[in-house]
Chain A
Amino acid sequence: MPALVIAEHDNKSLKDATAKTVSAALALGGKVHVLLAGHHCGAAAEAAAKLQGVETVLVSDAPLYEHILAEPMAALILSLAERYDAILAPATTGGKNVLPRVAALLDVPQISEIIKVLGPNTFERPIYAGSAIQTVEAPPGKKVITVRTTAFKAAGPGGTAPIVAIPAGPDPGLSSFAGEALSSSERPELTSARTVISGGRGMQSGDSFKLLERIADRLHAAVGASRAAVDAGFVPNQYQVGQTGKVVAPDLYIAVGISGAIQHLAGMKESKVIVAINKDEEAPIFQVADFGLVADLFQALPEMEAELAKRGF
């Protein structure tokens, strides 16, 4: 039986997390279908159909799914579940919200945040903020899996899957959407940016994040933060990188004024190249950094911006 990937999208476009989850699903060895629930979501569905390796895209286009709520979304997935032996979603706040509901109603354990597929039933996943890697074997039966997207390459383009419209599932009528405040940044998304520059407690204020933003703009980078910086109110929650925030793995990660607690490292240590700028030369961040600069960030950041400008960035 094929695997079903729950697409993440904003109706207009497909999130990169979906393409990465498709890769994880393909690694299970069977065919892969994508379920896309949304409203006026044709463009996102077309993008899903172009992913290499996808056999069919199921689209449920209805007002019920304009904003994805856990209860109706889980009901829709359940209505399709008998045709699939694995159901996968990216371990984003969207996937994490919905999938445990599905697992509970199917009476199967969920395998959270897999980082490797060793076989159709065997997976690796991090525990204790990535201090240990657990290899788990799922019992026979349906598998419900969330995927740590930084651990999988995005499925490439070139697919020509048919798009099949399916009716909306039931509305359990338990919850309703009551508004949202989404950040509208021109910068790339934190989890898919090739370069990320993050600030920690050392930034001392939200204002000084402007120093990071100016560099981010030159490098087309996303801006992140440690939990300490978010808790201190310097930047909003969606900036948080770490065990309990977002996991990123860019080509270049620049940690500024971040000491490097294990909980932060859990969210960025798979980055290809790590740079640390910190005035404390004993800061643990230097133990994982490829390039460390012991310096006062309030001097180093303007210098860095000037140096980048000089080099034409």
Chain B
Amino acid sequence: MKVLVPVKRVVDYNVKVRVKSDETGVELANLKMSMNPFDEIAVEEAVRLKEKGKATEVVAVSIGPREAAETIRTALAMGADRGILVKTEGETEPLAVAKILKAICDSEKPRLVITGKQAIDDDAGQTGQMLAALMGWPQGTFAHKLELDEHSARIEREIDGGLQSVEVRLPAVMTTDLRLNEPRYASLPNIMKAKKKPIEEKTPADYGVDAAPRLKVLKVAEPPKRQAGIKVKSVGELIGKLHDAGVL
């Protein structure tokens, strides 16, 4: 069974982004970029499926700038077999990403697509569900645990009240939550090996997809700042202050 894993290049988890002074976006120049953390979990899950003999091939796809090839290399170093880079300029909205992925699924015919539940830059959380909808496939979002059989998957999902399990027919899309697994670090030999793995380069036009954004970003601004308050010396003083503030 072939597993497809879309991976997104995003500003690293530990970097605090700043808004551009002209409020047209956030400052991205010279920032450390990494694979979206939820996508790392997706790659890890796919590679584990391969190691268990359940998946035969893991294909990593990235839709983004030329540099997104590095993100694919990271996936290849973790154990993915080959990559597809779909080069775009500027922001590509989840719907356009889902359409490109649909075209790739139509030709690659994976039985399972594993995406992150959200990217930590736009925090949209849409791509996996949109892809599932466009393919007419079922979905298991916010996955906590996966049990994969030949024709179906049982996915335990993290929901607001606890956990829910769903049984989905394959092919399907699964989106990862944090507790699904702990992604590995690629070893040096695997990083070297990854350099020889193939990455195919494409454009949205190759798939007949118009990747132009549909939403117009009018402004990107700093959030209102919260002022630091005071330090209290004791629990007694704290309770007194909270009482005075009327929140107890």
Contact = CB atoms under 8 A, between A and B. Distances in A.
Contacts of B242: 252, 273, 275, 291
Interface string B196-231: 000000000000000001111111111100101111
A298 interface: no
A291 B230 contact: yes
B139 A311 contact: no
B238 A304 contact: yes
Given A128-B11, A128-B17, A178 B166 contact: yes
Interface in A172-221: 172-183, 191, 195, 219
- The bracket for how many chain B residues form the interface is 35 or more
Contacts of B158: 93, 237-238
Contacts of B95: 103-104, 107-110
A290 B241 CA distance: 10
A81 interface: no
Nearest to A146: B125
A191 B160 CA distance: 9
A138 B178 CA distance: 31
A308 B243 CA distance: 11
A129 B38 CA distance: 14
A17 to B, nearest CB: 9
Contacts of A135: 217-221
A75 to B, nearest CB: 10
- The bracket for how many chain A residues form the interface is 35 or more
B122 interface: yes
Interface string A283-313: 0001111111111000010011001100101
A195 B242 CA distance: 12
B123 A113 contact: yes
B192 interface: no
B166 A108 contact: no
A50 interface: no
Contact of A292 (B214, B226, B231, B239): B231
Interface string A58-71: 00000000010111
A166 interface: no
Given A174-B168, A238-B158, A307-B236, A181 B163 contact: yes
Given A237-B163, A244-B38, 5 more contacts: A93-B159, A101-B129, A109-B93, A127-B220, A246-B160
Interface of B: 11, 13, 16-19, 26, 38, 93-95, 98, 117-118, 120-134, 136-142, 144, 154, 157-169, 172, 177-179, 213-223, 226, 228-236, 238-239, 241-243, 245, 247-248
Interface of A: 67, 69-71, 74, 92-94, 96-105, 107-113, 122, 126-139, 172-183, 191, 195, 219, 227, 230-231, 236-238, 243-244, 246, 251-252, 262-263, 269, 272-275, 281, 286-295, 300, 303-304, 307-308, 311, 313
30 contacts: A96-B125, A96-B141, A97-B141, A98-B129, A100-B130, A101-B139, A104-B126, A109-B95, A110-B94, A127-B26, A131-B19, A132-B221, A134-B217, A134-B219, A135-B218, A135-B220, A139-B214, A176-B166, A176-B167, A179-B165, A182-B161, A244-B118, A244-B120, A244-B178, A251-B247, A273-B242, A287-B228, A288-B226, A289-B228, A304-B238
